[in-house]
Amino acid sequence: MRIVALFLAVGSLALGLAADTVSTSAGDVKITPVMHGTVLLEIDGRTWYVDPWSRADYSSLPKADVILITDIHSDHMDPKAIAAIRKSNTQILAPAAVAKTVTEAKVLVNGETTELFGVHIEAIPMYNVQRGPRPGQLFHDKGRGNGYVLTVGGKRLYFSGDTEGVAEMRNLKNIDVAFVCMNLPYTMPPDEAAVAVKAFKPKVVYPYHYRGSDLKVFAAGLEGQGIEIRERKWY
């Protein structure tokens, strides 16, 4: 597979986790995979977390200026993890279903946008179309959870949350870095994830939230597409 040489350089943090750096017109963005669906971002001197989960060790990680939460399930909405990383002025953005529990969260609904510390944030629908715990039910109903697209200095970063390869994902445009889930039975298998990623063609894709999935299947599905796959240590 042809690897696209883009704008990511491997770096490191004092906390010992491997970080990648995205160069933007507003300065570098550091991306650190933490665990499962938890991502740490450093943007313009501020610390952002996506879906902090308390199974990770936060004792040596920086406190959060911003927390983005995608859904109500405990590996995404985790009050214990929030308490471990929050400060008195931490800002939390989440869908309405999350705000019923995390009551201080600012609510974003699917399709809504906002801006925070110079970062444009868009809430993207994430949901199942066929998979659920029993007939007539889905693991993730449309409208309940948010994926997110963050735009920083002209670069666009997408976090899928728990979703199948829905139309809203396939129709994304100009995504530079994508974090895409793939685990059964809750989201989608790696071959379906590859089909969705081929549709919107991010420059770089990080498989995440993939416990138990065969990433070789995902890579095979993207063979020859010119999309760089970045496998990182999430578990």
- Positive or negative CA dihedral for 23, 232, 80, 110? positive
11 has a pLDDT exceeding 50: no
Residue 221: band (very low, low, confident or very high) from pLDDT cuts 50, 70, 90: very high
Distance (Å, whole) CA 33 – CA 12? 11
pTM over 0.95: no
Give the pLDDT confidence of 28-65 residue by residue, as tens digits. Answer: 999 999 999 999 999 999 999 999 999 999 999 999 99
3-state helix, strand, coil split of the chain in percent (to 5) is 15, 35, 50
Choose among 22, 65, 32: nearest CA to 152.
22
Domain at 8-228: CATH architecture:
4-Layer Sandwich (3.60)
Give the pLDDT confidence of 15-25 residue by residue, as tens digits. Answer: 457 899 999 99
